[in-house]
Structure 1
Amino acid sequence: MPGETDRRIITELAARGYNADREAVTLLAGASDPAGAIERAVEAAPDDAFKISGEHVRTLLDGEAREPVRKAEPESPSADPFASPAEPGDEAADGGSAAPHETKDGPADGPTPNDPGAGRVPTDPEKRLVEILGDITGQSTGTGEYEDFVTVFRDRYERLAGKLRGRVNHRPADAIQDMPGGSDAEMIGMVNDIRSTASGHWLVELEDTTGVFPCLVMKDREIADLVNELVYDEVIAVRGTLADDAGILFTDEIFFPDVPRTHEPSTADRHVQAALISDVHVGSQEFAADAWSRFADWLHTAEAQHVEYLLIAGDMVEGVGVYPDQDEELSIVDIYEQYEAFAEYLKEVPGDLEIIMIPGNHDAVRLAEPQPAFDEELRRIMSAHDARLTGNPSIVTLEGVSVLMYHGMSLDEMIADLPEGKASYDDPQKAMYHLLKKRHVAPKYGGKMRIAPEERDYLVIDEVPDVFHTGHVHKLGFGNYHRVTAINSGCWQDQTAFQKSVNIDPDVGYAPIVDLDTLDVTARKFT
């Protein structure tokens, strides 16, 4: 009975003496074998039941039992040294990690968007409240001159130093140089150099607006492990004692700007959900079109009734010339035709969704970050559902819940620079924790990432978000750091030849769903 409508399902149940609620009808219609599902539902119904419930049907369908994944269980302190322990009554332990979870599969043969039995009732847009902050679009002033780079790094230093001044009594580098040996000293600086000494200790050079000062971290100190977390150009604070000749600071403590442990996330005042996805890659031969259609079909069901927001964190299309021999893996070779195809796929999702999109490194915008939103031509092409297009990164506030959307290019460098236990592609959320800890989405300059010099550093995390959403690495991972929900949302592209050559095994067809009233996360799989 594939493709049965609600009316037929209701008729079949009525013939057996049962009524059913809307969710039960939708689930039965979406089952791979609706007739068999109806028989199993009737046979398993309690003797005194007159109505088949959605909960009853879910327990009968293989893989259909919905178990929302709470924010991840706590890791041990040794595995994640800067994560907070779980607090009594706190469902989300700081520093937790989550491997890909199939909490619920999408319908394999569910109702189509045009099916009258699809089940979703259009939602009231008047209840929604959306605000976008930190968008570079139309604000770019950088010309690439030397002074532009000085300006952006000075801005970074001042803003992040402001988050550290309450924890240390900062002395400028030139003032510390004039202090007598043996004095206690504290300094806030940008990491200028990291190197090991012949004895295996660490020498970290910090730079502020007055000069550079060397800080020695002894290898046998507990804080020596924190040196492994440092990357060039991030801003930290240190506390220690000057050597007898006052030429070096023996470091006792290292401080990061970090998310305050007192952070309390905001939540929505009603039960409403957001779907967080990224890396669609339309135009690739490996674009998972069937998975996308199952996702779109599911959004039309009653089960997705509360999903009112769709956030896409970059790489709508595969692009052209992004990596060597990419043209051999394209199904659409023209970039504008790729966006036209993406727009058609976007039309499959319900028209009442509030859609917000930022660009990624495969999209047709400048590669240097921060990236402005799509230009007018691409906006015209992607006009389906009147989506909101903003820059990368941006803060999007949904009914009081702030979501930091960042495509995630810097995750590659964080994973490459940090020890495997602190960040990896299998656990991309761990690398996100470090960005939150550094309060900057792309702290390292001079690597593979390109950073555009602007009048201000748009990559600083000024305000702590409630949700941090990234993509780029094509891996699913989510967890909680100091009560910030971190989600890397996987992708919609099967493994390409290029990905296979660099050992990327993508997590395809996942859609993390966030309950904005509780910040619980459910990862749904549609492959």
Structure 2
Amino acid sequence: MPLSTPARIVSELASRGYNAEREAVTKLADAPDPERALDRAVETMPDDALKLTAGHVEAVLDRAESRADATAGSQRAAEQENGETATRDPSVSTGTDSGVSPDAGGDVPHETKGSRDVDLSKRAIEVANDMTGNSTGTGEYSDFVSVFRDRYEKLASKLRGRVNHRPTDAIENMAGGSEAALIGMVSDIRSTASGHWLVELEDTNGTFPCLVMKDRPIADLVQQLLLDEVIAVDGTLADDSGILFVDSLHFPDVPRTHSPSTADRHVQAALISDVHVGSQEFMADAWHRFTDWLHTAEAEHVEYLLIAGDMVEGVGIYPDQDEELDIIDIYEQYEQFSEYLKEVPGDMEIRMIPGNHDAVRLAEPQPGFDEELRDIMTAHDATVHSNPALVTVEGVTVLMYHGVSLDEVIAELPDEEASYDDPHKAMYQLLKKRHVAPQYGGHTRLAPEDRDYLVIEEVPDVFHTGHVHKLGWGKYHNVLALNSGCWQAQTDFQKSVNIDPDAGFAPILDLDTLDMTVRKFA
């Protein structure tokens, strides 16, 4: 099998007893004849060397190029001496000299280099909340108790300044008619025979029932509640102290006074998601137009590319998916995605997170790729963080979350609060709850870790999601919420569930102003 991908080159080197630097593997993969280049590199390695370096590979390739040039020069000199002119078969399509051998692999893009006037020293990027390599959950009952306790404590701390909170066991011992306030996790929501709302809240000491009267203005807020989110209520105890009549209800929420940070220079980031390479409906032409545009002067300030999951179509994600696949092997899907990524300017900083179609666990938080996939995904040294992750780009904090929980939010809440047509409004709800996937036991799979990585502890400046294949954006308490659409045309499965995707869009964010321009390439 041809050594056309970094993963195969690494495997071949390992079979010969060698390791290699990542840059060395990349140089071999980009060589006109990777197999020949690898053979020459191994043959000329010092006897005591066990690791192939980028410098050694580069020297081997330079020598090969010099020999080729010398051979070509000798042939031209001989032709001129004999009064002959070299001839080649013209291109069938144009009648002109193609200059490319049919076996040269010209349809596979080489990794593009940094051709723009970019000052890399001005870049700054930090990542927080990345749990890749730090998974501790074993699935034991105690793990779930720990993660929910951590969720409660983190979100309760954001609510204690708004109410005079008392634990449930203390409220049970208060006199009837007393004013009381409680911070708890929503364990049950049901309507009474009279149409009022009974919300049961749980803290670390127990549970307590809270009644929201149907004629109170806050009754509409009950319809925005999800199980397992943390809220605060205050009101008055019934005469027998057995229930709390709620006067006000509070979410952890983003402060209305939030002031977003901005970059100190004019620099831009492209925010995309749901590429779905491997699907028959992957829009390769739109992708080519997008990457071609990135090489133009108009895109000279686009220095970052943030991808919010589903780089590939995956395998076995939904019924009869195999009938809609263009590439049926998951590793070959990533190899092809890496080839498409090579079209992006090499001086761009690329950060990604996985989604539910990617080859990682489905339960959230999702870790970044394992070593085998990282070896495949070497183009431009793109980095894959966990889902979710907090990526700070030149001072601008971007919360990247793929967005599986948006399905649940849209299904549970009223249409005016959350819908597929306006996916950013569903994102507003997650910001209000300060948690990217509050409800446990539903459509969204959650994994217990040593802490709850899904809590939105730090208020982001930008909240970037994908998953629902719809384009929508807006600001919630000065936080820019963006769902960036997709690069996949409508599949038969999407038709069956009435999903009409917004495909081929690339939102471009000005990091110095947080203004956004959406470009269409489909």
Q: TM-score range by the shorter chain?
A: 0.7 to 0.9
> For residues 125 and 340 of structure 1, what CA distance do their matches in structure 2 show?
28
The Cα of 1:389 is off from its aligned counterpart by 1.3
The Cα of 1:418 is off from its aligned counterpart by 0.4
Tell me, yes or no, if the aligned pair for 2:116 and 2:347 is still in contact at 8 Å: no
* Residue identity opposite 2:129 in structure 1: G
| TM-score normalised by the chain length of structure 1 | 0.77
1:328 and 2:344 matched: no
Q: Report the counterpart of residue 515 of structure 1 in structure 2.
A: 510
1:351 and 2:357 matched: no
Q: Report the counterpart of residue 5 of structure 2 in structure 1.
A: none
Q: Report the counterpart of residue 103 of structure 2 in structure 1.
A: none
Residue from 214, 218, 226 that aligns with 1:219: 214
Residue deviations 1:165-224 (CA, integer Å, cap 9, x gap): 010111100110110110000000000000000000000000000100000000000000
Residue deviations 1:54-102 (CA, integer Å, cap 9, x gap): xxxxxxxxxxxxxxxxxxxxxxxxxxxxxxxxxxxxxxxxxxxxxxxxx
> For residues 227 and 420 of structure 2, what CA distance do their matches in structure 1 show?
21
Residue from 360, 365, 368 that aligns with 2:360: 365
The Cα of 1:318 is off from its aligned counterpart by 0.1
The Cα of 1:231 is off from its aligned counterpart by 0.2
1:167 and 2:167 matched: no
The Cα of 1:122 is off from its aligned counterpart by 3.7
Count how many residue pairs are aligned between Structure 1 and Structure 2: 413
Tell me, yes or no, if the aligned pair for 1:491 and 1:508 is still in contact at 8 Å: yes
Residue from 458, 461, 467 that aligns with 1:466: 461
Residue from 106, 126, 133 that aligns with 1:131: 126
Which structure 2 residues correspond to residues 229-308 of structure 1 after superposition, within 5 A?
229-308=224-303
Residue from 467, 485, 489 that aligns with 1:494: 489
Residue aligned with 1:164, SS: coil
Q: Report the counterpart of residue 52 of structure 2 in structure 1.
A: none
> For residues 456 and 121 of structure 1, what CA distance do their matches in structure 2 show?
42
Q: Report the counterpart of residue 93 of structure 2 in structure 1.
A: none
> For residues 460 and 403 of structure 1, what CA distance do their matches in structure 2 show?
14
1:485 and 2:484 matched: no
> For residues 116 and 175 of structure 2, what CA distance do their matches in structure 1 show?
73
> For residues 437 and 120 of structure 1, what CA distance do their matches in structure 2 show?
43
> For residues 310 and 492 of structure 2, what CA distance do their matches in structure 1 show?
18
* Residue identity opposite 1:373 in structure 2: G
Tell me, yes or no, if the aligned pair for 1:277 and 1:489 is still in contact at 8 Å: yes
| TM-score normalised by the chain length of structure 2 | 0.78
> For residues 517 and 169 of structure 2, what CA distance do their matches in structure 1 show?
52
1:339 and 2:334 matched: yes
Residue aligned with 1:171, SS: coil
> For residues 124 and 411 of structure 1, what CA distance do their matches in structure 2 show?
38
> For residues 390 and 384 of structure 2, what CA distance do their matches in structure 1 show?
12
CA gap of 1:127–1:196, structure 2 versus 1, over 3 A, is same
Residue aligned with 2:158, SS: helix
The Cα of 1:448 is off from its aligned counterpart by 1.4
Q: Report the counterpart of residue 23 of structure 1 in structure 2.
A: none
Q: Report the counterpart of residue 431 of structure 1 in structure 2.
A: 426
* Residue identity opposite 1:269 in structure 2: D
> For residues 121 and 175 of structure 2, what CA distance do their matches in structure 1 show?
65
Residue deviations 1:21-50 (CA, integer Å, cap 9, x gap): xxxxxxxxxxxxxxxxxxxxxxxxxxxxxx
1:409 and 2:440 matched: no
1:397 and 2:392 matched: yes
Q: Report the counterpart of residue 307 of structure 2 in structure 1.
A: 312
Residue aligned with 2:331, SS: helix
The Cα of 1:120 is off from its aligned counterpart by 6.4
- The Cα RMSD (Å) is 1.4
Residue deviations 1:311-362 (CA, integer Å, cap 9, x gap): 0000000000000000000000000000000000000110000000100000
Tell me, yes or no, if the aligned pair for 1:288 and 1:492 is still in contact at 8 Å: yes
The Cα of 1:123 is off from its aligned counterpart by 1.1
* Residue identity opposite 1:262 in structure 2: T
Tell me, yes or no, if the aligned pair for 2:251 and 2:432 is still in contact at 8 Å: yes
> For residues 370 and 119 of structure 1, what CA distance do their matches in structure 2 show?
34
The Cα of 1:124 is off from its aligned counterpart by 1.7
Tell me, yes or no, if the aligned pair for 2:115 and 2:347 is still in contact at 8 Å: no
* Residue identity opposite 2:152 in structure 1: Y
CA gap of 1:133–1:425, structure 2 versus 1, over 3 A, is same
Structure 2 unaligned residues grouped into runs of 5+: 1-108
The Cα of 1:119 is off from its aligned counterpart by 12
The Cα of 1:121 is off from its aligned counterpart by 2.0
> For residues 134 and 163 of structure 1, what CA distance do their matches in structure 2 show?
19
Residue deviations 1:439-470 (CA, integer Å, cap 9, x gap): 00000000011100011000000000000000
Q: Report the counterpart of residue 191 of structure 2 in structure 1.
A: 196
> For residues 379 and 302 of structure 1, what CA distance do their matches in structure 2 show?
31
Which structure 2 residues correspond to residues 91-130 of structure 1 after superposition, within 5 A?
121-130=116-125
Work out which of the two has the higher radius of gyration on C-alpha atoms and give 1 or 2.
2
Q: Bigger relative contact order, structure 1 or 2, given CA contacts below 8 A and separation 6+? A: 1
> For residues 254 and 195 of structure 1, what CA distance do their matches in structure 2 show?
16
The Cα of 1:262 is off from its aligned counterpart by 1.0
Tell me, yes or no, if the aligned pair for 1:392 and 1:405 is still in contact at 8 Å: yes
* Residue identity opposite 1:208 in structure 2: D
> For residues 269 and 297 of structure 2, what CA distance do their matches in structure 1 show?
15
Q: Report the counterpart of residue 20 of structure 1 in structure 2.
A: none
Tell me, yes or no, if the aligned pair for 1:152 and 1:456 is still in contact at 8 Å: yes
Q: Report the counterpart of residue 376 of structure 1 in structure 2.
A: 371
Residue from 139, 148, 167 that aligns with 2:143: 148
* Residue identity opposite 1:393 in structure 2: P
> For residues 406 and 518 of structure 1, what CA distance do their matches in structure 2 show?
22
> For residues 197 and 468 of structure 2, what CA distance do their matches in structure 1 show?
31
The Cα of 1:380 is off from its aligned counterpart by 0.9
* Residue identity opposite 1:408 in structure 2: G
> For residues 201 and 162 of structure 2, what CA distance do their matches in structure 1 show?
17
Residue aligned with 1:414, SS: helix
Structure 1 unaligned residues grouped into runs of 5+: 1-112
Residue aligned with 2:155, SS: helix
> For residues 433 and 204 of structure 1, what CA distance do their matches in structure 2 show?
22
- Equivalent pairs: percent with the same residue? 78
Q: Tell me which protein shows more helix as a share of its residues.
A: 2
> For residues 321 and 237 of structure 1, what CA distance do their matches in structure 2 show?
42
> For residues 519 and 365 of structure 1, what CA distance do their matches in structure 2 show?
32
Tell me, yes or no, if the aligned pair for 2:468 and 2:485 is still in contact at 8 Å: yes
> For residues 342 and 328 of structure 1, what CA distance do their matches in structure 2 show?
20
